[in-house]
Structure 1
Amino acid sequence: MTENKNYQNPDVQEPDSDEITIDWMDILRRIYAIRKSLYKAAGVGVILGILIALSIPKQYTVTVTLSPEMSGDKASGGLASLASSFLGGSVSSGSNDALNVTLAPDIVASTPFVLELFNARVQTLDGKLDTTLTAYMDEQKKPWWGYIKAAPGMAIGAIKSLFSEKTDSVPTAINPFQLTQKEAAKVASIKQAITAEVDKKTAMTTITVTLQDSKVTAIVADSVVAKLQQYIVDYRIKKAKEDCDYLEQLYHERQQEYYDAQSKYAHYFDSNRNIAFQSVRAEQERLQNDMSLAYQVYSQVAQQLQVARAKIQEEKPVFAVVEPATIPLQPSGTSRKTILVGVVFLTICCVGAWKLLGIYLWKSLKKKA
């Protein structure tokens, strides 16, 4: 009986032939073989890295943190409530404020808000430039590739100017409804430099401004905070001001009516003091009632006016500045050393990938073609 030498134990499996094995030594040998190319790539990367790092202008970032004042319990302990309690009235405890604190980013990014910053005065740290924000944006430096991208547009503009009639341009007010191309570009650049974020849990508002001069950045951040506060304050007290103006007008009208009724009563009383006719007494009583009624209306309007005046003052505080704007000492963003190292590393990786894989794949495609 012969033994079957081809018999295999079913429990013993052959190794999977599709398993990929990596020969690290072979990869190291291939990398060592192209070391001269990698050295050249590193040299080119150093040159490119220096050019790119020096071309990117320094930028400074200023962050301001604001804490909004919650108005939910104002009515129960504010000035309006205090005035109303003294005058015998009452105020509503509800607050239906359409301007929520979470809208601060939308307000800062709105075109009308940005246009209000155009004429904000700024000054560079070295004191060489003292101008408006919109003029300073034209003075900011660009990397060399930015000028390359803008070259076609500048050439087209120069050609158009040759065929257009030159007229003395008179500066006109900016129309937010119809911006020119230059104005729209400045609005977009300022929007990119100014951002606002709101923490939904704490309702803390963070405003960030990034520009190329540290002092200008701090001035713009402070201006943004001031204008945002004023914007929200104006909105919050707008309705209270309208109510106060209306009550002011109504107050003077009711006051004049009371004075007229008082004058009529006094004149009639003096003229008929010694007359005992019943008709005279009836007319005197009627005039006295008119005077009393006019005084009651006048007194109620006066009370409401005092409450409205207190409500304007109550609505004014909106934000408390937790972290004010200060001139930064160090630039923000990616450092030049990091840019240099990153460009060198990327150049070496690209050359190495081409030498190790790219050439092989290129030759395979040429053979198939």
Structure 2
Amino acid sequence: MVSTNTDSAVSIEPIDGKKGRARFVDLGRAFSKRVENSVPQLRSEQLELVNPEKNPFFGHARAQLFIAIRNGREVGRISAHIDELALEMPPEQGFGPGTGLFGYFDAEDQDTARSLLDAAQNWLREQGMDRCVGPISMSIWEEPGLLVKGQDHAPVIMMGHHPAHYQDWIEGAGYGRIKTLFTYDLDIQKQFPPIVQRIVKSGARNERITVRSVRKKDWDNEAAKILSILNDAWSDNWGFVPLTPEEIAHTGVKLKPVIHEELNMIAELDGKPVAFMLTFPDVNYALAKSGGKLFPTGWWHLLKWARNPLNCDMRVPLMGVLKEHQNSRLASQLAFMMISQIRDKAAATYQSNRGEIGWILEDNQGMVAIADTINSKINREYAIYERQLR
């Protein structure tokens, strides 16, 4: 339910320190419970994301957290943050000099929303920024965008989920949409169209190409290969910010528990890794049972799921082909070969019925074409907004 109680003024409190971060995270969790179809995430993971001592994002970023208070009650939250690497990117790629960010946006009513956005904007101005982009919580690699379509079904692993009225409140505060991100729903049990099957067979006949599963026993090296390809493959994309060596190492450790070898592929050309595709079983199924807590019984649900995630949805969050091979016949062969192998394994080994691909930029013609060719359909839409600050 959306509160309309605006009888007294909202005060905005800057938050820092361990206790402050816990308040910030717990307030977000309270808001999440009110949103239909939301799934509670692990509190420990959420705390780590806003902890400068544990999240390597803060090696090149600084942030200020805010909580809104009315009549002694916490009624909203927001983060304002600056990514130094984003400031170095070309403006035509979405960020660039003078661009600050906001994220972790929750509010009980429109007046609170406006006050929170004002606080974030004022902090960014004080830091010398002249433009505000968001919501991005906090790194572009974590949860970019506001869910504006798809509230009618539960999110899958690592996907944001927001109430529909946030869109009106952000746009009502003077923000204009600058980019749309799509996710696509795919029926895994259906065979791919004949054209895809022909492309896959053609690629299989090419002796230079090897498509293999990742090797979890050598995961540190495998993760480094994958994320190196990612940094190259995505470097011209809107919103790209390179992953640092520290972030690559950290990401590899965080991803390992959800890695099932047969669902994650590396494609090699003449023995050199040139493309990859990651697929994660949807841990939200287990998190819904655990309430987002490991204790007293949440660990059991998560352990049971991790050992054998049968009948769960799948998500493809990332794939990439080295730039030197993009926009070529080879790139489409590699993509369809990896997709085909993963689909077969998800359907046969895990009895999965559906997958979700994304995020995909609305103007990423190559990925949109792939999604269309395999007969997947848009099922979620995320919006990223901007506002000038001067």
- Both proteins in one fold, TM over 0.5: no
Structure with greater contact order relative to length (CA < 8 Å, sep ≥ 6) = 1
Task: Looking at secondary structure, tell me which structure has more helix per residue.
Answer: 1
